[in-house]
Chains A and B, each alone.
Chain A
Amino acid sequence: MKKIDIKLTVNGEQHEMAVAPGERLLDVLRERLGLTGTKEGCGEGECGACTINMNGQAVLSCLMLAVQADGATILTIEGLQKGADLHPLQEAFIGESAVQCGYCTPGMIMASDALIRNNPSPTQGMIRDALANNICRCTGYDRPVKAVLKAASQMKERKNG
């Protein structure tokens, strides 16, 4: 089948590649670029483990074709940390014990990152709604919700301070 040329900016790096028309963005990230932090939990858009950030919005990379992402700017969990310091969300997920098996964690952090970008002061209810797309089987969600609340308030403080 004829391949299609696309351009992607992933975690600040530019990539050009020829992809099959049916190739998923998730597979491009995981198999071609080796960015395995983005997980596949169902492949059907039900669990949220593959959530990434595309052009500032949370996107399920298992439901997106690579060709649909042509020209996009993409951020994955691997690109969240700047330099030696963890991102406030990453710090808060550790600090609030919001991580157990960790398989949902990258998707949950990326969904939370998109939430905070669009709404710097989310309430607990807003966070629960925003994370409703992300299944976690281990924690019961309380700790992840608290982690997002904490990270949001810290990011606001840092911005203001």
Chain B
Amino acid sequence: MDKLEVVGKPIKRIDGIDKVTGAAKYATDITLDNMLYAKLLRSPHAHAKVTHIDTAAAENLPGVKAVATILEVPKVLQYWYFLRTGKKEKQIYLRDNIVRFVGDPVLAVAAKDEETVSKALSLITVTYEKLPDLQDPVVALEEESIKIHSKGNVAMKAEKEFGDIQEGFNRADVIIENTYHTSKQKHASLEPIGSCVAHYQPDKRLTVFSSTQLPHWSRHYLAGALEMPLNKVRVIKPYTGGAFGGRCGLIHGLEVMCSWLSRKALRPVRLSFSREEDFIATESRHPMIIKMKTGATKEGIITANDVKIIADVGGYGTHYIGVIADCLSTGGALYKIPNYRFYGTAVYTNKSLCGALRGYGNPQMNFAQESQVDIIAEKLGVDPLKIRLKNYRPKGDMDPVLREKIQSNGLPECLEKGAAEADWDAKRCQLPGITVIKRGIGLSIMLHGTGAAGALPDPASATIMINADGSVNLLTAAADEGQGNRTVLAQVASEVLGIDIEKITVSDTDTAVTPLDCGTHGSRQAYSGGLAVKAAATEARNKMLFFAAKSLGVKQQKLGIKKGRIYELSDPENNILIHELMRQNQIGDMSLCEQVIGSFSGIASAMPGYYGAIFAEVEVNTETGEVRVTKLTSAFDVGRALNPDLVEGQITGGGAMGIGFALTEGLIVKDGHILNGNLTDYRLLRACDVPEIVPIIVESNEPTGPFGAKGIGEGAMVNVASAIANAICHASGVRLTDLCMTPENILQKLEEKTA
């Protein structure tokens, strides 16, 4: 293919008009005829056995159409690795009478209106036998008399060593050991997590409108939980108000419960969570305790890293296997540390459940590891930038965890361009200032995987249909939560087909019309989705060329396509318009009547890492402990930016979310109750709080990616907190090891330092 026409251009998003005019429909905007309204009754206890539920009075209330409880409706402990066999799948459906955190759903009522639902809920009595609860993962790990799940409190233990850790420490001239704590961050997508409409019809078909990131896996879980065939379950994902991992499958207590009610009532049911329910009872980031011992030679070569992680899973396990694996695969592969030991333990507690959140386990791991690297640099008197260049694992090396060769790595360019923009050399030498406001600059780097090919079932599929007027329908389930991947996939199709992007329509995200796709997670859609669309479009292109060759009397290989016209490369005058050819094929030639269709289903050949360097500039007020980030420079190697505007959107948005993770965001849990479950007390950054964030795109051309692309979405926030921690240390001389880095934490460290 010669010069690219559409890929690499800042094409405006295809859903822009829908979104600026209010025409875009989100799950909460959907109303069906004869629809019922539902609401959950949630546990007031952190750990209890439900011994009796009396729903008689509620069921007798006029207007109440269905009641369903956890005694009949299974909970789904979702992680799609378990869908690989029918036997494994059975493990993910849990039907019992135990509630495991404050807010855990007990039952739901569907009635003709919200007022009746509320009244019915007040008429229900639930009898609980309170059980002792465990809030501290360290205690839960040791405790054997209190079991949160029948198998105990340890969800998993992982162990991995490469090299010889003892030998690594023997070679080290400096060894440091620290313990880090990270917070229970919430997605806080602007559309609250948890809104769906389910419609079970008398002919035993179920349609669910739900803002899921993984429509096909959600369909699979729903079919399993409701014991229905896959073809009778249809999941439609409407527009989604942000996800960030919070909709990585079904929502605890939402779609299954809503569908169950609909099946009982044989009417459509809407179940939507309030913002408070979103905060207290949907997934959050796994808080972690990370103990890390790191050794390096006096030249600054890191020789050993010993990692022990305890992750707090909360009451139910979903993504903990992947989250723990992510800590290892990102931490272990970023640097060429020859001796690495990793222990990861995931522990249940009686807190709200944890799951996927932008970066998975990487932001936690990166905060610890990038702090360690900076501490070593400081001890040795080495420039933090230079120590990274000395130790990073370059292109051509083997990834020690994935056992794949690294085929692209633009880290040096990220560091170089980021340092130039941030004026690193000059600012790093500046003194912090003599007033109470101390200024500093810090940096950190990161690696994150694109997709999960080989690690998880990670299919991607696409179908391309060329219409008689030369326009195109692209069928894909690549769920777009706002990042813009549907636009990017249209660009890829347009580029390959030689058909204008305005003529390409991307389908709704609907399992009834789209082939199997894993969904949107792991920064995968530009890469895995892009590969699938590229393959499907290539098949369609070749078919068009086949027909054009016959029509033009030229060999297929001697043809090109540009702007909707197929032409002979050596004689462009000999050409045919695609729409003329397609009309002839489909309708005009009654002996043919064939539509050109291209399709692909399969998996990417790799799980390439993408890289980033972030430079944070801060002001620390040593009297109040307040930190102000004054500038963030984020340079990311995305392989190739298929749409630079959208890539920059991910980098700046991820930057803001990362600042929140660093400074303000974390759920506060006391005795099992979340104290800050609202948008006033859970502090998100607002327009007046966000500093200048400068996105820098580096293109290393990943050979396995579509047009060289790899991921960006998750990585954009991964190393913000570590860069800020390193900057705070540069400014004030104190090392923060706990997130969030609140004024209280900073003041305490400053006091310890002066004492």
Q: Using CB atoms and an 8 Å cutoff, list the residues of chain A in contact with chain B.
A: 30-31, 35-44, 46-47, 49, 76-78, 80-81, 86, 89-90, 93-95, 97, 99-106, 109, 127-129, 131-145
Contact = CB atoms under 8 A, between A and B. Distances in A.
Contacts of B242: 100-101, 103, 137-138
Nearest to A46: B679
A49 B22 CA distance: 12
A43 B274 contact: yes
Given A99-B16, A101-B191, A102-B15, A77 B239 contact: no
A97 B646 contact: yes
Nearest to A100: B482
B379 interface: no
Contacts of A143: 649, 652
A145 B687 contact: yes
A131 B687 contact: yes
Nearest to A40: B28
Contact of A141 (B20, B28, B241, B656): B656
A77 B17 contact: no
Contacts of B16: 93-94, 99
Interface residues of B, number: 57
Nearest to A107: B190
Contact of A101 (B189, B679, B684): B189
B21 interface: yes
Nearest to B30: A36
Interface string B10-41: 10110111111111111011010000000000
9 contacts: A30-B29, A49-B190, A80-B21, A97-B645, A101-B190, A102-B24, A106-B20, A128-B688, A139-B653
B669 to A, nearest CB: 20
B680 interface: yes
B21 A78 contact: yes
Contacts of B684: 135, 137
A38 B657 CA distance: 25
A86 B20 contact: yes
A157 B41 CA distance: 56
B368 interface: no
Nearest to B187: A137
A132 B189 contact: no
Given A90-B20, A101-B191, A132 B688 contact: yes
Given A89-B20, A140-B653, 8 more contacts: A36-B28, A41-B192, A81-B21, A128-B687, A137-B684, A138-B483, A140-B657, A141-B686
Nearest to B272: A40
B649 A138 contact: yes
B241 A103 contact: yes
* Nearest 4 A/B pairs, CB to CB: A37-B22, A101-B482, A103-B241, A102-B19
B244 A141 contact: no
Contact of A102 (B239, B686, B687, B690): B239
Nearest to B660: A137
A132 B679 CA distance: 13
Contact of B190 (A81, A86, A137, A140): A137
Given A42-B275, A46-B678, A93 B20 contact: yes
B7 interface: no
Contacts of A97: 10, 12-13, 645-646, 648-649
B715 interface: no
A118 to B, nearest CB: 17
Nearest to A148: B687
A104 B190 contact: yes
A97 to B, nearest CB: 5
Interface string B680-695: 1000111110101100
Contacts of A106: 20, 22
Of listed B190, B240, B242, B678, residue having the most chain A CB within 10 A: B190
Contacts of A41: 190-192, 241, 275, 679
B481 interface: yes
B501 interface: no
Nearest to B651: A140
Interface string B238-268: 0111111000000000000000000000000
Contacts of A43: 274-275
A142 B652 contact: yes
Nearest to B652: A140
Given A44-B275, A99-B13, A102-B19, A36 B29 contact: yes
A35 B192 contact: no
B365 interface: no
B718 to A, nearest CB: 15
B484 interface: yes
Given A42-B275, A46-B679, A137-B657, A105 B20 contact: yes
Contacts of A140: 652-657, 690, 693
B188 interface: yes
A99 B655 CA distance: 16
